[in-house]
Amino acid sequence: MTDRSIRTLDATEIRSANTLFRATLHEPPAADDVWQRSQRTYQAGRTLGAFENDTLIGTARSIDTTLTVPGGAVPMAAVTGVGVRADRTRRGVLTDLMATQLTDCAERGVPVAGLHASEAVIYGRYGYGIATHHRSRRVTRHRAEVRSSAPTDGEVELYDLDTALTLLPDVYARVAHSRSGMLDRTEHFWPMWEGHFRKASGLMRLAVHHGSDGPDGYAAYRAVTDNVVDDVAVMHIEDMAAATPAAYADLWRALLRVDLITRVESLWQPLDVPLEALLTDHRAVATTGVEDDLWLRLVDVPAALNARTYGGGDDAVVLEVSDPVLKSNSGRYRLSASGCSPTSEPAQLALGVDTLGMLYLGGWRVADLVAVGRIEITDASTADDVLGAAHRLLVTDSSPWCGTFF
């Protein structure tokens, strides 16, 4: 008979967990030099192993960080490195890992967990919902020019990868709270960022905007030469954020000035950055994809809901939340401009904790999630009033966006 158990791995065991995880992504074990770097992405005490008769068959880990939310910030467990050996899948190993990890977060007082999903059908059952999206755009460089009326405030300087690694943590820290959904990139995030650019092809450059108050925006790109098609290069901007409109405009001016680039692939950016409107020719830009970005799971529903601010003036709604994994979250909550509190009042909207994760940063309209059957209105006669109040409470000015891969 097989004996399955879950426990936290110690430092001597994490390379095996990394090898197992890489195999689930069909990648060979990390070479020694790669492991020197990637072991620094593992936070001590945050890697779980699933064992079958003392053999490691699955793993999941997390990194402690802080999530920017409307009007504030909240501690978050950034979940990553999830994998189950291909000959042990579909027998509940991930379910056990997720339950252990979420219980551990709850016991440590971490109100929110977040992840990027390899497949969209996996994590909803554990209470995660898509909280942010990102948009990728293609810019035809010879048609793209920044409007002369766009603001300007400073200079853009280019740096190589080694210099970027010393500069960017401080630059990023200055923009990290400029949009809901963004994360603090602790020391465990940067080796992942470095690994991506070391592995990827093309020359990497970091453009930093030095504004009148110091560095306030950056863009990290790779210029990939395509010798097959007319011997020119494509610029892939893979990490970009700006704290001010002037920094955003100046960065684009500098990026579009780089010679021998036919097109710019602006990857994984917020849905609503006004790139098309920044340029003289709207049609120099085409959206090439909109995808899910950060999935959020409210581990402690009242603590998470009280970490953000709400609009709505005198509005209030009563939510009935169901949480099949962390059952203490299930119950009724009154949400108003002054926050969230448990209540015995009758519920007006009933929803699962995964759908609450979708609404948390204001990335979805409540009415849309009602329309698709994710939220139930308990009394149809008050639907318009309840939907209006919920919308005014939860809506935010800009699209939430994470922008950090982990």
Ligand X SMILES: CC(=O)SCCNC(=O)CCNC(=O)[C@H](O)C(C)(C)COP(=O)(O)OP(=O)(O)OC[C@H]1O[C@@H](n2cnc3c(N)ncnc32)[C@H](O)[C@@H]1OP(=O)(O)O
Residues in contact with ligand X by CB under 6 A are 24-25, 79-84, 89-95, 115, 117-119, 121-122, 125
| C-beta of 16 vs 24, nearer to ligand X | 24
CA–CA separation, 308 and 89 (whole Å): 38
Q: Has 338 been labeled as part of a binding site?
A: no
- Give the shortest CB-4-to-ligand X separation in angstroms: 11
Q: Give 124 or 154: the residue with its C-beta nearer to ligand X.
A: 124
Backbone angles phi, psi at 376, to 5 degrees: -105, 135
84 is in an annotated binding site: yes
181 is in an annotated binding site: no
Nearest distance from C-beta of residue 74 to ligand X, angstroms:
19
Q: Which two tokens stand for residue 390?
A: 């919920």
Check the annotation: does 93 bind a ligand.
yes
Question: How near is the Cβ of 88 to ligand X at its closest, in Å?
Answer: 7
Tokens of 56: 């490691």
340 contacts 390 by C-beta, under 8 angstroms: no
The answer on whether 82 is annotated among ligand-binding residues is: yes
Phi, psi of 338 (to 5 degrees): -90, 5
d(Cα 56, Cα 50) in Å, to the nearest integer? 6
Given the complex with ligand X, which of 38 and 244 has the nearer CB atom?
38
Q: Which is nearer to ligand X, 235 or 294 (CB)?
A: 294
Residue 379 is which amino acid? D
Chain-centre distance for alpha carbon 65? 12
Q: Which runs of consecutive H residues, i.e. helices, occur in 128-202?
A: 161-175, 190-199
Entry field: residues in the chain: 406
In whole angstroms, the minimum distance from the beta carbon of 188 to ligand X comes to 15
Q: For ligand X, which is the closer residue by CB, 63 or 242?
A: 63
Nearest to 117 by CA among 164, 43, 48, 60: 60
Per the annotation, does 95 bind a ligand? yes
* Helix (H) or strand (E) segment spanning residue 65: strand 55-69
Q: Kindly report the CA angle at 326 between 322 and 331, in degrees rounded to 5?
A: 35
List residues with catalytic annotation.
123, 406
Please enumerate, by residue number, every residue annotated as part of a binding site for acetyl-CoA: 82-84, 90-95, 118-119
Binding residues: 82-84, 90-95, 118-119
